[in-house]
Amino acid sequence: MTNTHTGFESLRDEALALRRAGLSRRQIRDRLKVDDDHLLTRLLQGEPPPEWTKRPNAKDDLRAQARELRRAGKTYNEIVAELGVSKSSVSLWVRDLPKPIPSPERMHRMREARWAPYREARDRQCAETKAAAAKEIGKLSDRELFLIGAGLYWAEGSKDKPYRRTEVVAFVNSDPDMIRVYLRWLDLLGVGRDRLHLHVMIHESADVAGAERYWADLTGVDVTTFGKTTLKKHNPKTVRKNVGEGYRGCLVIRVKQGADLYRRIEGWWCGIVLGAERDHPGGCPV
């Protein structure tokens, strides 16, 4: 028993000396011919391993980064995406930290991201529906354009009132497609560009010169022949939506000496009303 104990102590002294010399467990095991891991552990008990054998714990660094990101207000998913770790690890590392309160801007971004796939699907469906509907129209006949133009004018053009007898043919609109259709209708009626008086109505804070050039190019009329632009006073208290590069005001198109044409337009509209009320005519005096 004494000899066994003495042998163990002697072997332990050698193992500790080798350990203090910087050898690893494997090196000590090979040097002392110790094949029993339990015995080797007993021989080295109480002696820390050399620094070079210690593996750095990468997760300690990731944990510190995760906690820093959480304190900065990041969500679990954002931390997972940034660090490339599992959500369960993130939860374990930061669950003791208070849940961050997102800022209004962050809430807006989160909502945008959440609803983006649905909006994209909706926009795609809307585009497909509109494209299919456009194909249903095809090329318009002169009669179809004639009727559309009469309805378009009666919706958007100036009209004679009992309290204001004018009989003026004037059309005001900001939609370039509306303007194109209206001009095509005037062409159909034989109203040449030389009979038109054009001018722009726009807020004074907008790009007035740019708007004038835009409408001149659209209508094919020399901008120098335009009438004086009507400027609307800017009210800084009003929050306007019609701003930016796409805002070009409204174009006013007046037909010179148009009293007779106005009467005909009013008659055409009455005809449309009477034609639509097949079973119960009335409502529009002729």
Q: Annotate 172-206 with b (16+ C-beta within 10 A) or e (fewer).
A: ebeeeebbebbbebbeeeebeeeebebbbebbeeb
**What distance in Å separates the CA atoms of residue 33 and residue 261, rounded to the nearest whole number?**
116
Based on the fold, state whether residues 47 and 159 are members of the same structural domain: no
Distances in whole angstroms, Cα of residue 192 to Cα of each of 138, 223, 234 = 26, 17, 35
User: Which of residues 14, 34, 53 is at a domain's end?
Assistant: 53
Based on the fold, state whether residues 146 and 23 are members of the same structural domain: no
Residue 103 lies in a domain: no
The number of domains in the chain is 2
Lowest mean pLDDT among 37-41, 136-140, 215-219: 37-41
Residue 239 lies in a domain: yes
CB atoms within 10 A of CB 231: 15
Based on the fold, state whether residues 146 and 271 are members of the same structural domain: yes
Residue 193 lies in a domain: yes
**Structural tokens at position 70:** 């959480």
Question: What's the domain range around 184?
Answer: 142-276
Distances in whole angstroms, Cα of residue 215 to Cα of each of 162, 206, 248 = 33, 14, 8
Lowest mean pLDDT among 110-119, 210-219, 250-259: 110-119
Which residues 6+ apart lie within 8 Å of 116 measured at CB?
Answer: none
Based on the fold, state whether residues 148 and 272 are members of the same structural domain: yes
Convert the pLDDT of each residue in 214-254 to its tens digit.
999 999 999 999 999 999 887 766 655 566 678 999 999 99
User: Which of residues 34, 53, 72 is at a domain's end?
Assistant: 53
Lowest mean pLDDT among 45-49, 53-57, 200-204: 53-57
Residue 90 lies in a domain: no
Residue 125 lies in a domain: no
Based on the fold, state whether residues 35 and 147 are members of the same structural domain: no
Convert the pLDDT of each residue in 67-84 to its tens digit.
999 998 888 988 998 888
Residue 91 lies in a domain: no
Q: Which residue, among 61, 55, 87, has the nearest Cα to 74 in the 3D structure?
A: 87
Residue 286 lies in a domain: no
Residue 124 lies in a domain: no
**What distance in Å separates the CA atoms of residue 178 and residue 100, rounded to the nearest whole number?**
51
Which residues 6+ apart lie within 8 Å of 230 measured at CB?
Answer: 199, 200, 201, 202, 252
User: Which of residues 53, 68, 92 is at a domain's end?
Assistant: 53
